[in-house]
Amino acid sequence: MSVASKLLVYLHLAVKQQALQSALQAALPGVMITAVGRIADFDRALAEGQDAVLSLPLVLSAKHLVPVLRGERQGALDEEYVLVGTEPTLEPARARSVGAVDILGREGTTSFINTLIGAQPKLERVTKVEDLLPLLQLQRVDGIVLPARLVSELARSSRLKLVERPLATRVGLPALAAKGGSEDPLVAVFRRLPRPLCASLGVERWR
């Protein structure tokens, strides 16, 4: 694999971007890795030219990138998202305001959340998963939207009694787009990533 290979990572996980970048760098020593958490930084890095991009399929699609490798967990290529709040009567269609991580900018994220919720609530955008909980603690929103697998992380960080409601639309797990297509050297490397690292990315294996 060329030392010059550049991988751009744009994912919002329970771990911090720097920790994610370091973990991937240790597993991919021949690759120059950049992990970002803001859409503006992602767009800027993308414009500078990348050999591969690791992100959600919906982000790749929005940037006209085609996945060559898809993350899989529990036999599925997608996962459940939930609406989490503190009111027992919480219902997605009745939420007046929700918080979510900004993955596609104002318009793109709003459209994404409206599709998940099945309504058009007022949207509060944040840049990190850990910024979602304060929105509930300060009662700025009725609920927050995130992958179901991340709810336990929030629960450990809060004394709030959280209520979660599953959302009907599932969202694709992280995927890899690469200039070299399915023959790109990164494809073979990703298939061999350590299980703990895959788990931190929200997947069990790649296919």
Is 132 a member of any domain? yes
Q: pLDDT tens across 91-106, in order?
A: 999 999 999 999 999 9
Is 1 a member of any domain? no
Look up the CATH number of the domain holding residue 144.
3.40.190.10
**147 and 114 housed in the same domain:** yes
As to burial, measured by CB atoms within 10 angstroms (0-12 exposed, 13-18 middle, 19+ buried), residue 149 is middle
Is 155 a member of any domain? yes
Helix (H, G, I), strand (E, B) or coil at 66: coil
**160 and 194 housed in the same domain:** no
Starting at the edge strand found earlier in the chain, the sheet holding 52-55 runs: 32-35, 6-10, 52-55, 175-178, 69-72, 205-206
Tell me the percentage of the chain whose pLDDT exceeds 90.
Answer: 91
Integer Cα distance of 157 and 141 in angstroms: 18
Integer Cα distance of 172 and 157 in angstroms: 26
- How many domains, in total, are found in the chain? 2
Name the strand (E) or helix (H) holding 59.
Answer: helix 57-62
pLDDT of residue 2: 45
**86 and 162 housed in the same domain:** yes
Is 89 a member of any domain? yes
Q: pLDDT tens across 150-182, in order?
A: 999 888 888 889 999 999 999 999 999 999 999
Quick check: 50 pLDDT over 60? yes
Is 116 a member of any domain? yes
Is 23 a member of any domain? yes
pLDDT tier for residue 4 given thresholds of 50, 70 and 90: low
Look up the CATH number of the domain holding residue 66.
3.40.190
